[in-house]
Structure 1
Amino acid sequence: MRNILVTGCCGFIGYKVSELLLEHGESVIGVDNINDYYDPKLKEWRLEKLKDKGQKSKGGFNFHICDIGDFNSVKTICSNYKIDAVINLAARAGVRASVEDPWAYLDTNLKGTLNLLECSKTYEIKKFVLASTSSVYGDNTKMPFSVGDNTDHALAPYSATKKGAEVMCYSYHYLYGIDITVFRYFTVYGPAGRPDMSIFKFIKNIDLCKPIPIFGNGKQKRDFTYIDDIADGTIKGLKNVGYEIFNLGNDRPVELMYVINMIEKKLGKKAEIQWLPLHPADIAATWADINSSKERLGWSPKTSIEDGIEQTVNWYIQNRDFVRNLKDAQ
């Protein structure tokens, strides 16, 4: 049994990774600042699920309110446990929002990662996993995106801070020998997802007969990746790799309108679309080259977009009253 520090444990990916670790019998030290980027009630819902899971698991779940941008808070937690690995999933997410408030992204995504790396060095934590993003590929037109592609042209502060965190991780690997896995996630979706993400908005708004916002013409393609596959890949990243970057994607890009049509059929309602201009930080398509993830980690996605949408809509229907009462994300 290992003690694994999971930052952002009340977030979408952090919650699912923590849950899976507990099912595997690991001990999870979960930290989150439960900020109001979207309605905190959803984060609190996830936290209660983790506490319940922790009581029934072999390893147990210990939760601490902590902003990873505060070095002293991070240091206190790391000094109180013998931590075997850090999985850093705490982040300010959202491409468009980062254009409006870049400072918050700098504090969490870059400074927060630095604080965790410093504590990993000081307390001899040998393994570090960083959540990065497909957004670092910018407006690359070569498909699929490979980890060897140029990522020097970030289109928004969000992707710029994530790229900076990747590079900072390499420095600490080089200087102090910390074994580091970096994951570039591709458009994660699924039950209990982020309310600011497209699929969550589509399902809720279509059900409520409210307009859904579509930037551009709806023909943008995204490599939508189901949350269970992402959590599985993230945990597989705990193996020793030296320093390596991996893509985690579904390897099957689909158009936004295809996803919307599936949701319409599942809910039995027609979408009212609010067409908006394409945002300058948006890109036309994403597609992950996952060959190295298959070869080095033994990981591949198991959930098709069709099955994933069905499971996501089913979760929404089962939790309809709760979701309807969440404040709309910006």
Structure 2
Amino acid sequence: MQTVLVTGSAGFIGFHLSMLLLRQGARVIGLDAFSDYYDVRLKEQRHALLAETAAAGPGQFLPVTGRIETPGLLGNLLASHNPDYVIHLAAQAGVRHSIEHPRAYLESNLIGTFELLEAARAHPPRHMLLASTSSAYGANSEMPYREDQKADHQMSFYAATKKSTEHMAHSYAHLFDLPVTMFRFFTVYGPWGRPDMALFKFTKAILEGRPIDVYNHGNMQRDFTYVEDLVEAIRRLMAAVPERPEDGQVPAGDSLSPVAPFRVVNIGNSTPVPLTDYIAAIERATGRVAQRNLMPIQPGDVPATWADATLLHRLTGYVPQTGIDEGVARFVQWYRDYTSTDAPH
């Protein structure tokens, strides 16, 4: 039985990844702080569902409550459980929130990642996989985004902290021969999603007959990635352990570092979708017409994202493929069920 430490296991992506691993027979150490950035009850219900799934087998689930930036916490976990893999998803999320509350991002994203890297230095796992973001591409206008493009002009403090974690992890990979894969997510959505994200807010407002705020007057495009596709890609990347090139030569199209067992990988649907089409999918799923409140673009936001997932396919043989109509319909059904019972199911 493989042991996997998942940080942020009560979060949206961490929950889905932990569920997938448990169903495949892994022993999951799930660490989460249950921060109040959004409804803690939703996080508690996710963890309860993970425990229920583990009880039915074949996997095992050990929940741990704590903040990743707490000195020694991660070191003790790695020393005690000797995980084969570490998947680092815990972070303070949200582009807009980072403008008003930057210290939370400094503490969780930078100091928390530092604590993890120090723990792995002392107790090396087989492979570390750390979450970054498509926001790291910042002001890049050449699309689709490729991992070998420069990403030097982040547009928000959130993006800046995530890009910084890539640099931090690369230095540890180089100095201590720690195999590290950083994955850049592209607008993840699906059941059990975060209440601060567009799909949750739009669905709630439309079903309640309230207008939705549509930024940049709807002139936005996103590479919407269904959460179950995303975690399947992460699961497959676990086996794609990067190796330091002996001669410093990197194959064309690979983001492998020439001096470290370190790689950056996009995980996206490879299809930019206009925001207006996304809203139309919600309208079809809810059977309601949205009232639109057209707004200017928000500070720190970018008008478009689009992933080149060629490297992901090369490494794993897999690319996300769930279309927005299918993915949005699954979310809306979950949302209706969740709000009618307000309990795990």
TM-score of the aligned structures, taking structure 1 as reference length = 0.95
Equivalent runs, 1:61-140 vs 2, <5 Å = 61-140=61-140
Tell me the equivalent position of 1:179: 179
Unaligned runs of 5+ in 1: 325-330
Structure 2 letter corresponding to 1:296: L
Whether 1:45 aligns to 2:45 is yes
Distance in 2 (CA, whole Å) between partners of 1:30 and 1:315 is: 23
Tell me the equivalent position of 2:336: 317
Cα shift readout 1:81-110 (whole Å, capped 9, x = no counterpart) = 121111000011111110111111111111
CA contact (8 A) 1:8 1:88 kept: yes
CA contact (8 A) 2:237 2:315 kept: no
Q: Secondary structure at the match of 1:86?
A: strand
Equivalent runs, 1:1-330 vs 2, <5 Å = 1-239=1-239, 240-241=241-242, 242-321=261-340
Q: CA deviation at 1:261?
A: 1.3
Cα shift readout 1:116-137 (whole Å, capped 9, x = no counterpart) = 1111111122310000000001
Unaligned runs of 5+ in 2: 243-260
Q: CA deviation at 1:323?
A: 6.1
Q: 1:284 to 1:177 in 2, by over 3 A?
A: same
Identical-pair percentage: 40
CA contact (8 A) 1:92 1:104 kept: yes
Tell me the equivalent position of 1:328: none
Q: CA deviation at 1:75?
A: 2.2
Q: 1:170 to 1:281 in 2, by over 3 A?
A: same
CA contact (8 A) 1:120 1:126 kept: no
Count of residues paired in the alignment = 324
Q: CA deviation at 1:226?
A: 0.1
Q: CA deviation at 1:57?
A: 2.1
Distance in 1 (CA, whole Å) between partners of 2:342 and 2:285 is: 17
Structure 1 letter corresponding to 2:300: A
Q: CA deviation at 1:235?
A: 1.2
Q: Secondary structure at the match of 1:283?
A: coil
Distance in 2 (CA, whole Å) between partners of 1:260 and 1:272 is: 10
Q: CA deviation at 1:297?
A: 2.0
Cα shift readout 1:132-181 (whole Å, capped 9, x = no counterpart) = 00000112111100111111111111000000101111111101111111
CA contact (8 A) 2:75 2:122 kept: no
Q: CA deviation at 1:322?
A: 5.1
Q: Secondary structure at the match of 1:193?
A: coil
Residues 14-23 or 256-265, more deviating: 256-265
Q: CA deviation at 1:307?
A: 0.9
Structure 2 letter corresponding to 1:266: A
CA contact (8 A) 2:156 2:301 kept: no
